[in-house]
Chain A
Amino acid sequence: EAQVTQNPRYLITVTGKKLTVTCSQNMNHEYMSWYRQDPGLGLRQIYYSMNVEVTDKGDVPEGYKVSRKEKRNFPLILESPSPNQTSLYFCASRTGGNNEQFFGPGTRLTVL
């Protein structure tokens, strides 16, 4: 089944404790992206990647890092999480052209 998977789905952590949210897709898509969703703000792009080893900042990259060492994986790294990073995070992927983005199921992160 074609899908985007994220792990973990739920995470509660404390300020300053490094964490990684994994994202993997099995559709051989070139493009991958991370978004955060906050009430009243919709989805905002954090980082995106156009292919292996090619990444760029989105609208709200501060406090986040990403890497794209393999085509299928696009982990999101929070080196020192803060409470304002409490949010619902979505990973998405797509192939080139005008094809739709496929979204993962989301990761709900709470930073205390």
Chain B
Amino acid sequence: AQSVTQLGSHVSVSEGALVLLRCNYSSSVPPYLFWYVQYPNQGLQLLLKYTTGATLVKGINGFEAEFKKSETSFHLTKPSAHMSDAAEYFCAVRKGSGGSNYKLTFGKGTLLTVNP
């Protein structure tokens, strides 16, 4: 079974500061990893994903994440926070093989607050 742990249910940063949202996963097979963002009163939007290949993946809105197999981590970063980044962020994992491995397992979410 796979699982996701997001460290910190709430992260607060100042505008212009580095954003670091932590995600660790467990999976018995090579995983596919995702970060989703949820703005207030909206659905989930994909920020970025790792499937195979380059371990540093870039997403929308200046976010990036690095897959580190040895640390079973997929932390999300952004060099400079903007007020519009305030949202809830979810890390998710699914099995990398095909077939019926459809389920995404989500972390519990991290609420990002950006202070002026």
Which chain A residues have a beta carbon within 8 Å of chain B's beta carbons?
A: 31, 33, 35, 40-45, 48, 50, 56, 58-59, 90, 92, 96-98, 100-101, 103-106
Which chain B residues have a beta carbon within 8 Å of chain A's beta carbons?
A: 9, 32, 34, 36, 42-46, 49, 51, 90, 92, 96, 98, 100, 102-109
Please give, as numbers and ranges, the residues of chain B lying within 8 Å of A103 by CB-CB distance.
Answer: 36, 43-45
Cα–Cα, bound, A73→B20 (Å): 38
A98-B32 contact in complex given A40-B9, A42-B106, A48-B103, C-beta closer than 8 Å? yes
Cα–Cα, bound, A59→B103 (Å): 9
Decide: B44 and A33 in contact? CB cutoff 8 A. Answer: no
Partner of B46, one of A42, A48, A100: A100
Q: What are 9 sample pairs from A and B whose C-beta atoms fall under 8 A apart?
A: A42-B90, A43-B104, A45-B103, A45-B105, A58-B103, A98-B49, A105-B42, A106-B42, A106-B43
